[in-house]
Structure 1
Amino acid sequence: MAPVRRKWRPTLSMIVFVVLVTVTMLPLIGLFFFRLYENQLIHQTESELIAQTAAIAAIYAREVEADPAARALARPAGSQAPTRDEYRSLAAREQAMRTPVGDYHPIEPSLDLAGDDILPRRPDAREPAKPADPAFLAIGARLAGIVTATQDVTLAGFRILDPNGTVIAGREELGRSLADVEEVATALRGRYGNALRVRISNSPAPPLYSWSRGTGIRVFVAMPVMVDQAVAGVVYASRTPNNIFKHLFAERRKVIFAGLAIALVTALIGFVFARTITRPIHGLIAQTQAIGHGERAQEPPPAHYGTREIASLSQSFHEMAERLSERSAYISTFATHVSHELKSPLTSIQGAAELMKDSSASMSEEQRQRFLGNIIDDTHRLTRLLDRLRELARADNPQMAGSTTLQAVVGLVRDAFPALIITVEGEPESVLGLSPDNALIVLSHLADNAQRHNAKNLRIAARQVNDRLELRVSDDGDGIAASNRGRIFDPFFTTRRESGGTGMGLGIAQSMLRSHDGAIALEPSEAGTAFTIRLPWAGCGGMPA
């Protein structure tokens, strides 16, 4: 026979390992594929630019308020209609603008790598439609020192614009117009403007920088300068966010500790999985293989069962193995007894038949009748034995449906054994959790056993003990010898074989009761024999006897 091809399946340890590795890699997945950390760096950069431009805008506004000529040139907010592109970005940023919180008007960073378009590099400044007013040029000259000092420290680029978008302060592009730049146009209408733009560096970037989008973009913010609800100018700033690898290198100790913590937690989870799931399952597999090879006694039970479910599974497995072992021993012993019980009468029948065949001419009629009587007795014994075997098979696999009262089944026993005086005490209307036929099998064998031991009276006392129904069945017969009390439930053990006993009656009663979650036990008694039957309590009924 060709070997069956086994389909490959992953082991539980492999699945646990893959799950733990995936969980461990989740921070890196979020870092590199979802750009979560890069987005945080962009928010940080925008937040810093907002704070810097807000401070310079406050100084700019005070300069305008102190100069009547410049104050008169401020433009009302929203005096120019936005273009289509400007309106699209304006609607997207409205939520992040000056939402009042008490007496304050905070501006939250709103740029997002996933949601915002990355615009092309900033357009070059153009020639203005008209030159900047001298009043604003003077203000720009006074602010130039502040802008330069701030830029030297923060590394951000700053441009100070007049109400028309012309650069009045900054290291470059003085006198040129940035009014056509999208975020600047938004600020000239009195609203905060921001944008992500492609960054083009004058020097080549390091190789690692190409792994991060953060180094290829630049954050631009445009903060309007408001004086008397009019736009007096714009503070325009830009800066490149920190590179992700540069930032992680700067925080390398924290990153290493975080990685070690994740690895430690992952290893701990793996250890818990191995101890509570994988190892107990492997222990159960080893036990099943040992039992399959007949080595049950050599394989000790697992030291740890892990989870409650695996402990329950292991307990069920051991109970099943115990039942199978008991059943195997029972079948082996039973087969030996059956073969012995069948062999004895068959040998006797065969011997008698052979003698009658060989000695028919010289055998007397008396001898012939005696041999025929032996043959008939042995056939009767075989018939009784086969009847008991059928009853035993029925007891081992009974029909579980149905119930009856004690009084009803006692009436059937009285009809089957009229020579016995059967009395019922206690609760005769107790309901037995057995069908009438199954209950009759149990009590009939006890009555037959009593009658074969010369009993005249059979007494049945019923009472409830907790959740069980207890029946005490006693007789006034010869009793059971002390040497035989431990063997009475063994199959085919009998002291009345000459009177037709098969030694199976009590075994059949015991099997029937076990099948119904009951039990039978021999009790000590001063005279006769007494048995105690325990069954699950089924209540009381009113069935007539």
Structure 2
Amino acid sequence: MRARPRLRTILLWVNLIVLLMPLVAVVALRLYETELIRRTEAEVLSQAALIKASYEHALREELGEGLGSGSAVLERDGPSVEAKWPTNVEDRFRPVPIDMDLRRDEVSAPVKGPQPPGGPVHPATLRAGARLEPVLVEAQKMTMSGMRVVDLHGNVLASSQEKERGLSVAHHEDVTRALGGEFVKILRARAVLPNKVPLTGLARGAHMQVVVSIPVMMDGRVVGAVSAWRTPISVMRGVYENRNIFGTVSALFLLGVLAITALTSVYIGRPIRRLMAQTERVADGGEGTTDAIAKPGTYEVQKLSEGVAKMAETLQSRAEYIRTFATNVSHEFKTPLTTIRGTVELFQDHMERMPAEKRAEFLAILDADAQRLERLVGRLLELARADVLRPDGARCDLVELLDELVEDGSQAGVDVVVESTGGDANAPIWAQISEDALRSVFSNLLGNAAQHGATELRVELRSGVDGVEIIIADDGPGISPANAPKIFDEFFTTRRDTGGTGLGLSIVRTMLRGHGGDIELVDGSRGAVFSVRVPR
């Protein structure tokens, strides 16, 4: 049998996919937003590096020969500061990693504008800044980035915003850290947000800026800092600009939804519809109801369909049994009823002229047929009780019941001999069957043996692990090969003229099967031999 997935497995996969789809979308957008920030970080860092190199070159030209005479103002009070490179590279390449991450980096608050200058400004730095400022202003027109150069005291020497020159930004955290030799990269909230930013315009609607500040160095000492900042593209702007890619991703998500729908339909929807059709056919008594549905999809639907098919088969079998049983009952009742009706009509027509001997003969016939009907009714009730009998956990001692059978046999003129295979013959042997049921089984078999002229009944007990086998053999005429297949059928009897109803063995088999046992006719050297099996 092909293994089927369980319904809970299908539902688990569907729920996991439904849960993961929005999570994947959120994570993907978050990663994409980080990628947009890193893209801006790389742009701003490259601009700051270029400005740093340009300023250092201009400052060297303005100072002339090194930093000997007249350059003391470029030094801090106290020990000089060296740059703290983020990478430990020995050769001439010292890259700054692009590693900003929204999950790790906090967005700092906006800062106040430039303040009044603090500390003296060396003329050489002013001249170098003046040479660089037009470049910054012109570059901003294309890059839309803010840029500035400051000296050791945080005084603005050159800026893409000309009004900042001569003021101080030493209170900016990034500038302070850069003057301390650090390569600073931070996210800073924008002080003013635009009201409405179109997806196709030049303005950017992100709520933060990427700020990069790096130290300016001469002869290994920090002599100033360069800052550059830029607003990254917003996620919606990025999605719009890459709409083909995101459209493809959305199509894949849609295909995922369709796949979930198809999965649910194939493994749940269609099998349930087939199962509903099967139950409707069972209710209507249609054909093909005893076959399980094809392609049940899941293990539960498969088992349910098999259960419905088995139920339909049982119902059909019971219906056929009831039809056959009703036919047999009507046949068995028809003969005595016909005789009774004929006798009554005869009495009605000839009662006064009928001799006493004839009246007595006809009354005897009426009495015999009434007794036959009474036996039939009793047997039918017994069969009905056996048919609905279910095990109730009762147990009985076989040895004790067989002792009763010996006494009943002596009263019926049959010598009952009990044999046991091994063990103490008087030790109790317990069977999982009610005492009344097993007593009825023995009584029916004893009655059949006596009715067919047997004088001896031999009983052999064979005790096993799971049950007990009882071999019951009589010394009667036995059962012919032609009649052997029919002896357990209802109303089959060869002694109808002596009162046989043909229900005894049928009752025995039904009662034993109701308790998990069985009975069968086995070959024997003489007489009839039955094997009765009962569970322990």
Whether TM exceeds 0.5 here: the answer is yes
Distance 1:413 1:185, change over 3 A: farther
Q: Deviations over 1:8-55 (max 9, x none)?
A: xxxxxxx99997995696268637xx9635642454257537855885
Q: Deviations over 1:446-469 (max 9, x none)?
A: 222222222233334444678454
Q: Deviations over 1:191-221 (max 9, x none)?
A: 855312266579x8435689xx973434142
2:189 aligned with 1:196: yes
Q: Match of 1:40?
A: 34
Q: What is the identity, as a one-letter code, of the residue corresponding to 1:167?
A: V
Q: How does 1:342-421 map to 2 (within 5 A)?
A: 342-398=333-389, 400=391, 401-418=393-410, 419-420=413-414, 421=416
Aligned partner (choices 320, 329, 341) of residue 329 of structure 1 = 320
Distance 2:355 2:39 in 1: 128
TM-score normalized with structure 1 length: 0.73
Say which SS state the counterpart of residue 322 (structure 1) adopts: helix
Q: Match of 1:499?
A: 498
Q: Match of 2:157?
A: 168
Q: What is the identity, as a one-letter code, of the residue corresponding to 1:527?
A: R
Whether the 8 Å CA contact 1:50–1:223 is kept in 2: the answer is: no
Distance 1:256 1:457 in 2: 94
Aligned partner (choices 260, 267, 286) of residue 276 of structure 1 = 267
Whether the 8 Å CA contact 1:131–1:175 is kept in 2: the answer is: no
Aligned partner (choices 26, 30, 52) of residue 26 of structure 2 = 30
Q: Deviations over 1:513-539 (max 9, x none)?
A: 222233333334443223333444x2x
- Unmatched 5+ stretches in structure 2: 1-10, 61-65
Q: Match of 2:478?
A: 479
Q: Post-superposition shift, 1:289?
A: 0.9
Whether the 8 Å CA contact 1:128–1:176 is kept in 2: the answer is: yes
Distance 1:331 1:163, change over 3 A: farther
Distance 1:133 1:447, change over 3 A: farther
Q: What is the identity, as a one-letter code, of the residue corresponding to 1:196?
A: A
2:400 aligned with 1:424: no
Distance 2:289 2:307 in 1: 20
Say which SS state the counterpart of residue 482 (structure 2) adopts: helix
Whether the 8 Å CA contact 1:476–1:528 is kept in 2: the answer is: yes
Whether the 8 Å CA contact 1:456–1:477 is kept in 2: the answer is: yes
Distance 1:74 1:492, change over 3 A: farther
Q: What is the identity, as a one-letter code, of the residue corresponding to 1:221?
A: V
Identical-residue share of aligned pairs (%): 31
Q: Match of 2:508?
A: 509
Distance 1:175 1:111 in 2: 34
Whether the 8 Å CA contact 1:42–1:219 is kept in 2: the answer is: no
Aligned partner (choices 178, 197, 211) of residue 221 of structure 1 = 211
Say which SS state the counterpart of residue 296 (structure 1) adopts: coil
Q: Post-superposition shift, 1:253?
A: 6.0
Distance 1:56 1:452, change over 3 A: farther
2:294 aligned with 1:295: no
Whether the 8 Å CA contact 1:458–1:474 is kept in 2: the answer is: yes
Q: Match of 1:8?
A: none
Q: Post-superposition shift, 1:426?
A: 2.9
Which of the two has higher C-alpha Rg?
2
Say which SS state the counterpart of residue 194 (structure 1) adopts: strand
Tell me whether 393-402 or 493-502 shows the greater mean CA deviation.
393-402
Whether the 8 Å CA contact 2:395–2:435 is kept in 1: the answer is: yes
Distance 1:520 1:68, change over 3 A: farther
Whether the 8 Å CA contact 2:118–2:153 is kept in 1: the answer is: no
Distance 1:196 1:378, change over 3 A: same
Distance 2:255 2:464 in 1: 57
Distance 1:205 1:263 in 2: 29
Distance 1:157 1:256, change over 3 A: same
Q: What is the identity, as a one-letter code, of the residue corresponding to 1:433?
A: Q
Whether the 8 Å CA contact 1:132–1:166 is kept in 2: the answer is: yes
Whether the 8 Å CA contact 2:290–2:312 is kept in 1: the answer is: no
Q: Match of 1:128?
A: 117
Distance 2:126 2:158 in 1: 8
Say which SS state the counterpart of residue 408 (structure 1) adopts: helix
Distance 1:300 1:316, change over 3 A: closer
Distance 2:113 2:473 in 1: 116
Whether the 8 Å CA contact 1:161–1:167 is kept in 2: the answer is: yes
Q: Post-superposition shift, 1:123?
A: 5.4
Distance 1:300 1:55 in 2: 80
Distance 2:271 2:25 in 1: 33
Distance 1:517 1:138 in 2: 111
Q: How does 1:69-218 map to 2 (within 5 A)?
A: 69-72=73-76, 109=100, 111=102, 124-128=113-117, 132-134=121-123, 136-137=125-126, 140=129, 156-172=145-161, 173-179=164-170, 193-197=186-190, 205-207=197-199, 215-218=205-208
Q: Deviations over 1:398-444 (max 9, x none)?
A: 25221123323322333333233243343675432211112222232
Distance 1:124 1:509, change over 3 A: same
Q: Post-superposition shift, 1:117?
A: 7.1
Q: What is the identity, as a one-letter code, of the residue corresponding to 2:190?
A: R
2:501 aligned with 1:533: no
RMSD of Structure 2 on Structure 1 (CA): 4.9
Q: Match of 1:316?
A: 307
Distance 1:464 1:76 in 2: 106
Distance 1:477 1:45, change over 3 A: same
Distance 1:448 1:339, change over 3 A: same
Distance 1:299 1:414, change over 3 A: closer
Q: Match of 1:447?
A: 446
2:335 aligned with 1:339: no
Q: What is the identity, as a one-letter code, of the residue corresponding to 1:71?
A: E
Say which SS state the counterpart of residue 73 (structure 2) adopts: helix
Q: Match of 1:81?
A: none
Q: What is the identity, as a one-letter code, of the residue corresponding to 2:231?
A: T
Whether the 8 Å CA contact 1:45–1:219 is kept in 2: the answer is: no
Distance 2:262 2:124 in 1: 75
Q: Deviations over 1:466-489 (max 9, x none)?
A: 845444333332222333233222
Distance 1:222 1:110, change over 3 A: same
Q: What is the identity, as a one-letter code, of the residue corresponding to 2:430?
A: V
Distance 1:430 1:255, change over 3 A: farther
Whether the 8 Å CA contact 2:518–2:534 is kept in 1: the answer is: yes
Q: Match of 2:519?
A: 520
Distance 1:159 1:72 in 2: 20
Tell me whether 443-452 or 298-307 shows the greater mean CA deviation.
298-307
